[in-house]
Chains A and B, each alone.
Chain A
Amino acid sequence: EVELVESGGGLVQPGGSLRLSCAASGFTLSSYAMNWVRQAPGKGLEWVSYISSSGTTIYDADSVKGRFTISRDSVKNSLFLQMNSLRDEDTAVYYCARDAGTNWDLDLWGLGTLVTVSS
């Protein structure tokens, strides 16, 4: 079955760090560009970060630039998001999403992992 499964979320204090993982199954992750998208409780979707299929091109939202780092591991068939200097406003469900490659069309999403930043 083709799916994405996120993990690594949890409760962290402001200023802390967390590393999210997104494991792919049923397809080769390295063939696709990938994204992280988040959704704060009761709010809309917010794009976080993009990485090309080769890993050589990365784009980040201004809200996370310099604090979050997207990466990928073709051997593990996984995507990662290293989150540092976390703030209250980073509290959200984080989704990884596959880019089908036509028009930044995200055709496969994981179920998400909840990150809560609170003291």
Chain B
Amino acid sequence: QSVLTQPPSASGTPGQRVTISCSGSSSNIGTYNANWYQQLPGTAPKLLIYYSDRRPSGVPDRFSGSRSGTSAYLAISGLQSEDEAVYYCAAWDASLTGLFGGGTKLTVL
């Protein structure tokens, strides 16, 4: 069981907005912020959002992140079929360990 808690699944139709949550604690997200990764089937993870709300170059602005207290959120607007993937939140922890959430499988209906 992951220290960072994500819903196992989420879904939406093309064009919709979907939000994925990640619940942590004061020792990780509350202090170090969160990062988000996208893992398409059969590929390595890709950094999507860092420092809770920053996008690396090349990531579409349909993807956005936010943080509230010890929780982080990933929002995907204008949902597209190619967004179907597993999304992981991650954060460094004060115990000097790296943490990943259990992953949320996003299905585009």
Contacts and interface: CB of A to CB of B under 8 A. Distances in A.
Interface of A: 35, 37, 44-47, 50, 59, 61-62, 95, 97, 100, 102-107, 109-112
Interface of B: 2, 32-33, 35, 37, 39, 44-47, 50-51, 54, 56, 86, 88, 90-92, 96-103
A105 B34 CA distance: 9
> Mostly helix, strand, loop or mixed at chain B's interface?
strand
Given A95-B45, A109-B44, A109-B45, A103 B51 contact: yes
Contacts, number: 69
Contact of A106 (B32, B35, B39): B35
B92 A104 contact: yes
A3 B70 CA distance: 33
Given A44-B103, A47-B98, A59-B97, A104 B35 contact: yes
